[in-house]
Amino acid sequence: MRGNALGLTKRQLLAPDTVVRSRALRRESGEPERRMWRALRQQLAGAKFRRQVPLGRYHADFCSHAARLVIEIDGDDHAARSRDDAVRTRFMQDEGYRVLRFSNADVMRDVDSVIVAIAAAIRHEKGDRS
């Protein structure tokens, strides 16, 4: 049976404006998010990441459900919101996801190193320590 006891999928259970918000966030993404998306699609195509995925009341910048991994790209304003980010991270971890955070500067300066860290996290999740 697909969905919950009533046959409703997770998407059908979302608040009505959630899908609209996800689409808007994808459309309005900044250069660091666009650069990360290109790198994930080109260098980690097998990981099947999605963008602006609703998780509870939050939207994960990038999420691989199969790897149970969330990637967050943080702008300069996140330094002032560290407590909010900690709550958000804790929620995602409680949902069973590992959360990796990178700054906009990390992505813009050296996206390849960010991809290496993400690939290592995926290997770790799969139990491959090589």
CATH of the domain at 59: 3.40.960.10
Cα angle: 89, vertex 101, 33; to 5 degrees: 115
In a domain, 75, yes or no: yes
Q: Where are the beta strands (DSSP E) in 16-78?
A: 50-55, 58-64, 69-74
pTM of the model: 0.81
Q: How far is CA 7 from CA 1, 19, 30, 48, 53, in A?
A: 7, 19, 37, 26, 21
Q: Dump pLDDT digits (tens) for 3-51.
A: 556 665 666 566 767 777 788 888 888 999 999 999 999 999 888 999 9
Give how many domains the chain has, as a whole number.
1
In a domain, 7, yes or no: no
Q: Dump pLDDT digits (tens) for 57-93.
A: 899 999 999 999 999 999 876 556 778 889 999 999 9
